[in-house]
Amino acid sequence: MISIQNKWTLITGASSGIGEAFAHELAARGSHLILVARTEAKLRALAEKLQQAHRIKAEVIVCDLAEEGSPNRLYQECADRGLSVDILINNAGFATYGLFEQLSGPRQHEEMMLNVVAVADLTHLFLSSMLQRKSGVVINLASTAGFQPLPNMAVYGATKAFVLSFTQALWEENRKRGVQFLALCPGSTETDFFNVVAAEEASVGKRATPEYVVQTALRSLQAEKSYVIPGLMNYISSQMSRFVPRKQMLYIVGRMLRTR
């Protein structure tokens, strides 16, 4: 893993949850930060706190990455400010819960734009300069949801399967060119995720802390892994799809996530 000290890290969805935990941990290790989210007040409060506590630089960029063209606008804003991104953490994302045809079509479209399109676009935009420097890190937030289809969370599961596959492919493409990729695949975590989903039944298993998830990710970068699943039980449940027939797996997951 590249040295974090005095490097610039861009974190999407930085105002809370895993994104905020990344910001705290990387600032403590001496990284400068580009904090990206939709809520300016939270970002500015976080930036001020981290600058005072760790004497690092922190830039705030307000951006809704579910909007068409927003990754390009974010990239251009970084260029206009003279910011060179050494570490990219594509953390922003959300889920919807319920029967596919009953959920809002526009909302599910936003889900795909944020969880898939923004991740691919930002990776494409920032990767070129990393390759030129032969140095860089990209962490993409996948999920244990990416290892099998999710009835009642069909779009979310599919987006995270994309992120997992996409990131592992780029890990292989770039592992000898100086840029590390990691797909971070947490299970249920103590964040605002389930408040946004508005369905407690979407939470499966014991919830990890964001800090634990972040520490696991950084250790996995040191080990040059292509993906990591924080927590033993999360790992075991995610690997079940390798051994259980797909029809049976769908039945099991469908019962776990059925609407109530």
Contacts of 122 (CB under 8 A, 6+ apart): 12, 65, 71, 74, 75, 88, 90
Residues in CB range of 24: below 8 A, 6 or more apart: 50, 211
Q: What pLDDT, in 10s, does the model give residues 223-246?
A: 999 999 999 988 888 887 777 777
174-190: average pLDDT: 94
What are phi and psi for residue 245, nearest 5 degrees? -55, 145
* pTM of this structure: 0.91
Catalytic residue, candidates 156, 212, 225, 235: 156
**Domains of the chain, earliest start first:** 8-256 (3.40.50.720)
What is the average per-residue pLDDT within 117-124? 98
Q: What is the pLDDT of residues 25-53, one digit of tens each?
A: 999 999 999 999 999 999 999 999 999 99
- Mean model confidence pLDDT for the chain: 92
Average pLDDT of the segment spanning 157-173: 98
Given 7, 97, 160, 227, which residue is catalytic? Answer: 160
On the question of pLDDT at 260 being above 70, the answer is no
Backbone angles phi, psi at 122, to 5 degrees: -65, -40
Active site residue 156: yes
